Homo-oligomer: A and B are copies of this chain.
Amino acid sequence: MGFKEGLKKRTETIEGIIREYAPEETGLYKNVCRAMNYSLMAGGKRLRPMLMQETWRLFGGKEEKLLQPFMAAIEMIHTYSLIHDDLPALDNDDYRRGKKTSHKVFGEAMAILAGDGLLNYAFETACKAMDAVEDEKQLAKVAQALRVLAVKPGLAGMLGGQVVDVEMEGKPIGKDVLDFIHERKTSALIECSMMIGAILAGAGGEEVTGIEQAARKIGLAFQIQDDILDVTSSLEVLGKPVYSDEKNEKTTYVSLMGIEAAAGQVEKLSNDALSIIRGLCDAGGYANPFLEELLKALIHRKK
């Protein structure tokens, strides 16, 4: 199977897993479930659950029923952050993934509650892994994974980055603050995904730390590529308005260092991440050629 075919098959499998764990649209509060699912099922690359699953495969993971709730949970957390980021009081965006944003469709109150609902439901969903736990060793792995799921999207992670991003809007910032923002706003969830994959597969402490470091670089590379696409792509290809960073007076890697140097950074960070992962593979006798191809594809993505 070629890479593109493998990617398509995996994305479809992940869509199925997310759908399985998505909230049912029933009961008096079905409207918030609809709003949650509108954003959760809006497609996207499903990069976070994919990286979680491929890291889990890299370390020889076997208990799929422990993993799947976490794959759905990380996408719920990612989606909650997008819904709240898009709100009028924050980025005030009308489009996301080629569709109207949540507050444009459901109103602001429901969009706030749908975001809250997804963040909360992520933990509820991840806790479902407890149903598949068969012994104390598995419970310990699930508990460790839950903790990573609670820490990385939070204050010291994604949320902290988002706060600084909002506060710095329209102000001139240097590369150090920009790195601070994106190591949290973007990398933290990639770290979260890959660390949980490693933990649930039974990877050791040093392996989990190695994966965390590689994931940080992958997240930064992904974000810089996002900044590049914001000025080189189009609404049709990207599914969201281009030049939105410029419109919002945001400092980006492109505005800071230019397109060429930014592209060089993407290449360097990706290669560094690959080196770390190859080192772990060599030391532990692991292999996952698809994961390597996936990381390379991130460099050349057009949307």
Chain A residues with CB under 8 Å of chain B are 23, 27-29, 31-33, 80, 84, 87, 89-90, 107-110, 112-113, 115-117, 119-121, 123-124, 126-127, 130, 136, 139-140, 142-143, 146-147, 149-151, 153-155, 159-164, 166-167, 177, 180
Chain B residues within an 8 Å CB radius of A151? 124, 127
Nearest chain B CB to A297's CB is how many angstroms away? 31
The answer for the CA separation of A121 and B150 in the assembled complex, in Å, is 7
The answer for the CA separation of A151 and B123 in the assembled complex, in Å, is 8
Q: Is the CB of A113 within 8 A of B159?
A: yes
Q: List 17 A-B contacts (CB under 8 A).
A: A27-B160, A28-B160, A33-B155, A89-B109, A90-B109, A109-B166, A113-B166, A117-B159, A119-B119, A119-B120, A121-B154, A127-B147, A127-B151, A139-B139, A142-B143, A143-B143, A146-B146
Q: Is the CB of B112 within 8 A of A87?
A: yes
Q: Is the CB of B127 within 8 A of A150?
A: yes
Chain B residues within an 8 Å CB radius of A90? 109, 112
Chain B residues within an 8 Å CB radius of A163? 29, 31-32, 110, 113, 117
The answer for the CA separation of A116 and B167 in the assembled complex, in Å, is 16
When A112-B87, A115-B116, A120-B153 are in contact, do A31 and B127 touch as well, CB less than 8 Å? no
Q: Is the CB of A150 within 8 A of B123?
A: yes
Closest 9 CB pairs of A and B: A89-B108, A29-B160, A123-B150, A120-B154, A32-B163, A127-B147, A124-B150, A29-B163, A89-B109
The answer for the CA separation of A164 and B33 in the assembled complex, in Å, is 12
* A168 to B, closest residue via Cβ: B28
Chain B residues within an 8 Å CB radius of A139? 136, 139-140, 143
* A161 to B, closest residue via Cβ: B29
Nearest chain B CB to A250's CB is how many angstroms away? 14
The answer for the CA separation of A268 and B11 in the assembled complex, in Å, is 55
Nearest chain B CB to A238's CB is how many angstroms away? 24
The answer for the CA separation of A115 and B112 in the assembled complex, in Å, is 10
Checking B107, B113, B147 against A162 with a beta-carbon cut-off of 8 angstroms, the contacting residue is: B113
Nearest chain B CB to A192's CB is how many angstroms away? 12
Nearest chain B CB to A74's CB is how many angstroms away? 13
Chain B residues within an 8 Å CB radius of A143? 130, 139, 142-143
Checking B29, B109, B123 against A164 with a beta-carbon cut-off of 8 angstroms, the contacting residue is: B29
Nearest chain B CB to A128's CB is how many angstroms away? 9
Q: Is the CB of B109 within 8 A of A159?
A: no
Q: Is the CB of B154 within 8 A of A124?
A: yes
> Which of A29, A127, A147 is the most central at the interface, judged by chain B CB atoms within 10 Å of its CB?
A29
Given contacts A84-B112, A116-B119, 19 further A-B pairs with CB under 8 A are A23-B155, A28-B180, A32-B159, A32-B163, A89-B108, A89-B112, A110-B166, A113-B163, A116-B116, A117-B154, A120-B159, A124-B151, A127-B147, A127-B151, A130-B143, A139-B140, A139-B143, A143-B143, A146-B146
